[in-house]
Amino acid sequence: MEIINSNDKRAYIPVLEGEMYIETYRSSMPSKACFNVIKDSIIDFSEGSTVKIYADSIPIFLGYVFTKTRNKEGIISVTAYDQLRYLKNKATYNFNGFTVSSIIKQIASDYRINCGSIEESGFIINNMTSDEKTLFDIIQSAIDTTYLSTGKLYVLFDDFGKLSLKRAENMASNYIVKDDTAEDLSYTSSIDSDTYNQIRLTLKGKKGIVQEYFKKNENSVSKWGVLQYTGSIEEGEDGNEKALSILNTHSRAKRSLSISGAFGDINVRAGTIIYIRTDKTGDIVIDEAMTVESCRHRFKMGVHTMDLSLRGGLINS
């Protein structure tokens, strides 16, 4: 690790105490590094100082100090974020005739964010207006629009100080998690939140008349009882189609899967596609490729492990 003082540009190699971890997220969150520095008479850094982290001489994180907390023993706990942290700024944009790739390049130019490899999506987005939204939300809206229109999912991330965009399928890895290569897993199946088997939508007409659209999954109601979603639609929307879409999407249990203490691999980050093989979940067997939604790399006493949150197949939460 190297910390470069933002004032005089002097570089320091700190003495660390305890565990260091680096977290990445697939969407709308910057990566962050958290670690403890032992204060001595030499090291000197402040907010805004640059943090560079390497594993076996391979660069894995470049960010900036945002928070320092010091205790009476002289241990400084540091939180650093990569440059995606600056996408939390809010702005107003009107993009017409832009691709998600060109939108990212425009925002990066306006906010002095360094760009690296930005894959070109090719899909033109027309009339996308965002009023006082975070730059994260603006870019994610463009990514979502592109996905809904083309079926191509893109992942935005920082590659050691370079803003990058890749198609999800181009982030596939040969990394495999099995029951004997991880310390533990946590699998949850629930109908307690965001699960609905009866949909009721209403449209208020110009004369105050209420038109109702109703869809129900009878088999699900028999098993779980009535779990109703109540909402409204705007004029011009297809109420039957929207109600059916909500029912098809939400009339199933929400399943989540996380892995803790997996063997560390610095090539795995949020957005990476890895392979999961386990029969320890109880009601389902998982033997398929899945997307990493979040990844925490842990480094302590020369040991590198990962905690992973996953999505794909039946794992939908």
Digit-coded pLDDT (tens) for 285-299: 999 999 999 999 999
pLDDT score of 36 = 98
Label the pairing between strands 163-167 and 115-118: parallel
124/95 Cα distance (integer angstroms) = 10
Q: If residue 250 lies in a helix (H) or strand (E), which one and from where to where?
A: helix 239-250
Name the nearest CA neighbour of 239 among 200, 207, 209, 205: 200
Q: Which fold has domain 171-190+254-311?
A: Elongation Factor Tu (Ef-tu); domain 3 (2.40.30)
| Residues 6 or more apart whose Cβ sits within 8 Å of residue 149 | 123
Which pTM does this prediction carry?
Answer: 0.89
Domain spans of the chain, in order of start: 2-82, 86-160, 171-190+254-311, 198-250
pLDDT exceeds cutoff 90 at 307: yes
Q: In this predicted model, what pLDDT tens digit does every residue of 139-183 receive, in sequence order? A: 999 999 999 899 999 999 999 999 999 999 999 999 999 999 999
Name the average pLDDT for the chain: 94
Query: With left for phi above 0 and alpha for psi between -120 and 50, is residue 9 left, alpha or beta?
Result: left
- For residue 103, give both structure tokens: 């939108």
* DSSP, res 246: H
